[in-house]
A and B are shown apart, each in its own frame.
Chain A
Amino acid sequence: MSLIDAAHDDAQRGEHLLAVRDLRVAFPGRRGSLVAIDGVSFTVAPGEVLGLVGESGAGKSMTGQAIIGLLAPPGRIVSGEIHLRQRRIDQLSRTEMKKIRGSKIGMVFQDPLTALNPLFPIGDQIIETIRTHKNVDLAAARARAIALLQEVGLPAAEERMAAYPHQLSGGMRQRVVIALALCADPELVIADEPTTALDVSVQAQVIAVLKRACAERGTAVVLITHDMGVIAETADRIAVMYAGRIVEIGPVADTIHAPKHPYTRGLMGTIPKLDEEADTLVQIPGTMPRLGAMPDGCRFHPRCKDCFDRCRLERPELIPLQKSSVACWLWDDSETARREQAFGTAAHD
């Protein structure tokens, strides 16, 4: 199957840490089920930072939730596979999944205030997590917790062990959440909009901390965000999602500077930039389709300026190019002429 092959080719390096294959998540309802994620495949190599971007409703957070088995019911995985180091994790029981969460896969959520228990000091929460996953005594866990808090840049970490979440600022709380996610040395961290609730100056600090801590440990990161700037500065590869599907996946430099999918190209143009002067911004007409009313063929075709007949009828799968893969008929071998018309003659890969 070409899809799985594409996912394989993607990582170039031998073994994948995480492989998601043809993942479909659906919400059963009275009038048939709504498919929120429809055939998503990607891999993450050990130590790699994969950015998952898209607008709200694209299914990026849900992909993250599906990986760690925290899909909100009635949503469930209807088909596809998720492998962590060759082990299939999408069919594990609740208790088995619980062992993986925290120890193998760490999680950083958007809002640090809801991710921490308001009734316990942060030190206790970190020590508890360490002792749940690692066989160490209290003193060793405490020492490790302090070391972790120092590592994520919490000033006066030893005294702050006794602090409650409400006594810390938003940026400090998010640092604590990062420490929690890393405390059992997971191989993979899923960071779902880790800086969206923070101010820009604090956002920069938190990203730096996350990036450094993961790089030092060789922890892979799936960074879910809507902020292209954050991704551009953090990720190694980017997967762009639209309406429950990946439309383009590839190395950061390629995807940002030479986007191939018309949606990615539009998205890049809509972002107001600090170092450019523009009178009007590029506009993508319309909005993302609703789950119950997905268009046939390519899901982006009603908003696409390069759309042609084939887009309305046939759904494009990811077409592997040299470094990246694009789900767009313009990149099919038989459509070279059309592609050149849309991109100018410089279009090649």
Chain B
Amino acid sequence: MTKPLVEVQGVSRQFDVSKPWLNRVIEGESRRYLKAVSDVSFSIPRGGTFGLVGESGCGKSTVARLVVGLTAPSAGQVVFDGMPVGGPNWSSQRRRVQMIFQDPYASLNPRWRVAWIVAEPIRTFGLLIGDQAVRERVDELLELVGLDPRDAEKYPHEFSGGQRQRIAIARALACEPDFIVCDEPTSALDVSVQAQVLNLMRGLQYSLGLTFLLISHDLAVVKHMSDAVGVMYLGRIVETGAQQQIFENPQHPYTQMLLDSVPKLDVVPGDRSFEDVGAEVPSPIDPPPGCAFHPRCPLQFEPCKSEMPVLSDQGPTRVACHHVARRSQ
């Protein structure tokens, strides 16, 4: 078996959300930490797509930042092609990992022409020498993402959301990366434009052999794009497995609840009850003891309140749930 391109090994990240020192002394409080990501592990084979789903606040964007090295992990490490991210020789590999952000209105400099935006990484990494060569490469990249080379002279405000996301993709591709982290790449777009961008990403993956980490709250998008999927809840992966297994045969009660609560096109009105979905996501500063999902879980029993379940192989997927573990014994 070939080694996976990206390996995330037991990564955790906590943020200090304590009050200032003086307030802590006067009010007699201790430091408080927000555990954004706890002990997350997964790996992505070369040319594959790993989808990470979860509701807001579950830590999926923090995982994206950890994987590209924008945030340093508190524990664990991310290994890219055999080299730890953020390690001693990381800067020479930096070019090979790129990121596409959610909001194409915020991720492009409004004062720069598209040609400069796309050419910047080429110049920074010294991939091509000479204005003419750079210019030709920019034209080529714009054509690759379905824009006109003449668009290079325009500014970002002259484009629609979908076209801007294409520019962001062109810029990410300018460094000739192997691995792209896509953090909610289509959440700001309309469905018809979303389809264009998703099809473009798919096509580029096939033609350039890219590896993707796709982060989204939209289950249907993750299902459409991914080979393997991880479901996150309050900073932990609660279930992970092949795309087909997760969506057709979910084991964890949270995954089942998520899939059930997505509004579907072919449901007969009045044919189902939403009501059984209880409560909302608790605060990651003060997570419930034991399994973080237990206050919302219809299947909870004694150990869920005290013991943290660990990921273990449960038939088709890896699941962190006491109930599933007991059932399979």
- B277 on the A face (CB < 8 A): yes
In addition to A271-B191, A278-B224, 18 A-B residue pairs with Cβ atoms within 8 Å of each other are A171-B280, A201-B55, A202-B55, A207-B263, A208-B273, A226-B191, A229-B265, A232-B267, A232-B269, A233-B263, A233-B267, A234-B269, A252-B269, A256-B265, A270-B191, A281-B199, A282-B195, A284-B196
Q: B193 near A268 (CB under 8 angstroms)?
A: no
Residues of B within 8 A of A230 (CB): 263
- B223 on the A face (CB < 8 A): yes
Q: A56 near B261 (CB under 8 angstroms)?
A: no
- A205 and B266 CA atoms in complex are apart in Å by 19
- A227 and B261 CA atoms in complex are apart in Å by 14
Are A272 and B281 CB-contacts (below 8 A) given A199-B56, A256-B265, A267-B191? no
Q: A55 near B191 (CB under 8 angstroms)?
A: yes
- B235 on the A face (CB < 8 A): no
Residues of B within 8 A of A228 (CB): 191, 265
Are A268 and B265 CB-contacts (below 8 A) given A199-B56, A199-B217, A281-B224? yes
Are A281 and B195 CB-contacts (below 8 A) given A233-B269, A272-B223? yes
- A292 and B221 CA atoms in complex are apart in Å by 33
Residues of B within 8 A of A274 (CB): 219-220, 223, 247, 259, 262, 264
Find the A residue at minimum CB distance from B202. Answer: A280
- How many chain B residues sit at the interface, stated as a range, is 35 or more
Residues of A within 8 A of B220 (CB): 271-274
Residues of A within 8 A of B190 (CB): 55-56, 226
- A256 and B265 CA atoms in complex are apart in Å by 7
A292: min CB distance to chain B, Å:
14
- A274 and B53 CA atoms in complex are apart in Å by 14
Are A270 and B265 CB-contacts (below 8 A) given A201-B257, A204-B274, A204-B277? no
The contact of B55 among A199, A205, A269, A279, by CB within 8 Å, is A199
- B9 on the A face (CB < 8 A): no
B165: min CB distance to chain A, Å:
12
Cβ < 8 Å to A, chain B residues 252-289: 257-267, 269, 272-275, 277, 280-281
1/0 per position for A212-228, CB-CB distance to B under 8 A?
00000000000000111
1/0 per position for A265-304, CB-CB distance to B under 8 A?
0111111111100111111110100000000000000000
Find the B residue at minimum CB distance from A57. Answer: B190
The contact of B280 among A202, A270, A278, by CB within 8 Å, is A202
Lowest 7 A-B CB distances belong to which pairs?
A229-B263, A208-B274, A270-B195, A204-B261, A55-B190, A199-B55, A281-B195
- A235 and B263 CA atoms in complex are apart in Å by 12
Residues of A within 8 A of B257 (CB): 201
- B198 on the A face (CB < 8 A): yes
- A283 and B273 CA atoms in complex are apart in Å by 33
Residues of A within 8 A of B247 (CB): 274
Residues of B within 8 A of A227 (CB): 263
Are A201 and B261 CB-contacts (below 8 A) given A171-B280, A270-B195? yes
Residues of B within 8 A of A87 (CB): none
Residues of B within 8 A of A268 (CB): 265
Interface residues of B (CB under 8 A from A): 55-56, 160, 162-163, 190-196, 198-199, 202, 217-221, 223-224, 247, 257-267, 269, 272-275, 277, 280-281
Find the A residue at minimum CB distance from B274. Answer: A208
Residues of A within 8 A of B266 (CB): 232, 256-257, 275
- A274 and B257 CA atoms in complex are apart in Å by 14
Find the B residue at minimum CB distance from A197. Answer: B56
Q: A266 near B192 (CB under 8 angstroms)?
A: yes
Residues of A within 8 A of B272 (CB): 233
- A1 on the B face (CB < 8 A): no
Cβ < 8 Å to B, chain A residues 159-188: 169-172
Residues of A within 8 A of B265 (CB): 228-229, 232, 256, 268, 271, 273
- A55 and B161 CA atoms in complex are apart in Å by 12
Q: A280 near B199 (CB under 8 angstroms)?
A: yes
Residues of B within 8 A of A257 (CB): 266
Q: B269 near A201 (CB under 8 angstroms)?
A: no
Residues of B within 8 A of A256 (CB): 265-266
Q: B269 near A236 (CB under 8 angstroms)?
A: yes
Q: A267 near B277 (CB under 8 angstroms)?
A: no
Residues of B within 8 A of A129 (CB): none
- A227 and B263 CA atoms in complex are apart in Å by 9
Which one of A232, A233, A257, A267 has the highest number of Cβ atoms from chain B below 10 Å of its Cβ? A233
A75: min CB distance to chain B, Å:
22
- A283 and B163 CA atoms in complex are apart in Å by 14
Residues of A within 8 A of B163 (CB): 287
- A203 on the B face (CB < 8 A): yes
- A200 on the B face (CB < 8 A): yes
Find the B residue at minimum CB distance from A268. Answer: B265
Residues of A within 8 A of B195 (CB): 269-272, 281-284
Residues of A within 8 A of B202 (CB): 279-280
Are A204 and B263 CB-contacts (below 8 A) given A281-B198, A282-B195? yes
Find the B residue at minimum CB distance from A285. Answer: B196
Q: B199 near A233 (CB under 8 angstroms)?
A: no
- A231 and B275 CA atoms in complex are apart in Å by 18
Q: A232 near B263 (CB under 8 angstroms)?
A: yes
Which one of A199, A232, A278 has the highest number of Cβ atoms from chain B below 10 Å of its Cβ? A199
Residues of B within 8 A of A271 (CB): 191, 195, 220, 265
